[in-house]
Amino acid sequence: MLIPCATTVAAATASSVPLFSLTVDQTPNGFNSAARGWNSWGIEDNPATDPSFVFDQTHIEQQCDVLASAGLINLGYTACSVDFGWSLTSGDANGRVIANSSLFNMSDLADHLHREGLLLGVYVRPGGWLTDVNKTILGTDITIGSVCTGDNGLDQCNWDYGADGVQQWHNSVVDLFAEWGVDFIKLDFITPGSPQNGANLPANTSLSVVNYHNAITQSGRQMRLDISWKLARDAVDFAIWESNAESFRTDQDINNGGDETFTLYQTVQRAIDNYRQYIVLHMGQDEVLTIYPDMDNMFVANPAAEDGVDNDDERVTIMTHWIGAASNLILGSDLTNIDATGMSIITNAEAISVADFAAKNPMRPRNPETGLSDAQQLQAWIGGPNSTGNAFVILANYGPDQGSGGFGTSLTGVQNVSVTWADLGINGNFSVRDVWRGQDLGTFDSALSASLGEGQSLLAVFTPVGT
């Protein structure tokens, strides 16, 4: 049971931990929020979750039509992202990435989605196809094999970045995507990052991100560029991500490949901690970011047993943290099997309002009692305050660390999670509202507590009161 209340817990040491401003500005390709929608990979990689699903255009449309018919589009869920397997492993006469025509007609798919107000996303990886090395790049006399060599283990060669012809190839691919009506590119297997990938990737393919960004710019069509996975967070590489892409994956895939359920709560704990590891690098001074994190697909729309978590509280906690992080809100669940709880989670108007706020003011960790940013089982986060003093706060009991949470403790049962204003780095009187219960909790001037069971969390909106 969740019982918010006032508390007088002292936190003298927290007052020495300043809360710097952290905001997100427009992304390189002109977006002001993270993507929302659906991606096919969860069902592709976990086919037992929906045995009726076939990876083809008809079934993709069936899934994505729900975004429109269920009204999710009105809450910003517009992306319909087709993942690995839509394309052939050889290109057209100029080596451009093309669809497997036995499965997809991309122009027709784009037209279908656009009529409903939805957007088409496609999946790509760095490199040209090995089968295309003798083909000439469109508009040049340069063969792919003269500027793309070796074998990355994914049926693709490795670009000689900077060589004449490489940018032209990317331009030709994105121009073709623009002709089809593509709105969203997911660029996978980028390094530094993509660990334990089972391939033979070059140590650094970051210039693929630059090439795709440049290609989008010259195409004249606005497209998102999302890059993955578990990418390097150092200043040099992050500067490349932030200057060229809309989002970058902070973790690896969180789905259970080949399993009968989509994910595990243990993996969710890992994903939350990977976001924490990322955002603490941007808490030491006032900072404006121009990229969003991607914590991977959300598995919250289906019954808990199918999504793979233990209970509905954990589904709410997933949504709460993806919202607070300003992560992509890309559903990976089976949209043809949304239950009542799932629908209430993904369509809660107050929660979506917090997501809109977090798009400018993402959450940072503030440990109860210290205001520090370590991984903890009993944790607090704050997004904002913005220029008018508004903020949101998350209190969480992640339950015992299942091996990937980063905190290593195993407190069981209901726990009291208490945070003071000194812990959070704020001061003043705030009207506090419980978002998920839609309930005003009252006015608080120094602290907040909640009794939270394992996997439970409180998402609270803070509105300043008085002077």
Residue numbers annotated as active site: 188, 253
CA dist 304 and 262 (Å) reads 10
CA dist 178 and 80 (Å) reads 16
Distances (CA, A) of 144 to 86, 96, 168: 22, 10, 11
CA dist 114 and 118 (Å) reads 5
Nearest to 135 by CA among 105, 171, 94: 94
Cβ(310)–Cβ(42) below 8 Å? no
Cα-trace Rg, the chain = 23
Q: Residue 289 belongs to what H/E stretch?
A: strand 287-289
Cβ(232)–Cβ(193) below 8 Å? yes
- Give me 383's structure tokens: 């997004």
Task: For 153-193, give the secondary structure using H, E and C.
Answer: CCCECEECCCCCCHHHHHHHHHHHHHHHCEEEEEECCCCCC
- Give me 289's structure tokens: 């970011």
CA dist 37 and 215 (Å) reads 24
Cβ(23)–Cβ(289) below 8 Å? yes
**Cα 334 to chain centroid, rounded:** 18
- Give me 270's structure tokens: 């890992």
Nearest to 186 by CA among 208, 203, 169, 201: 208
Name all contacts of 47-55 with Cβ < 8 Å and 24+ positions apart: 48/259, 48/260, 49/260, 49/261, 49/262, 49/302, 49/306, 49/334, 50/334, 50/336, 50/337, 53/334, 55/85, 55/103
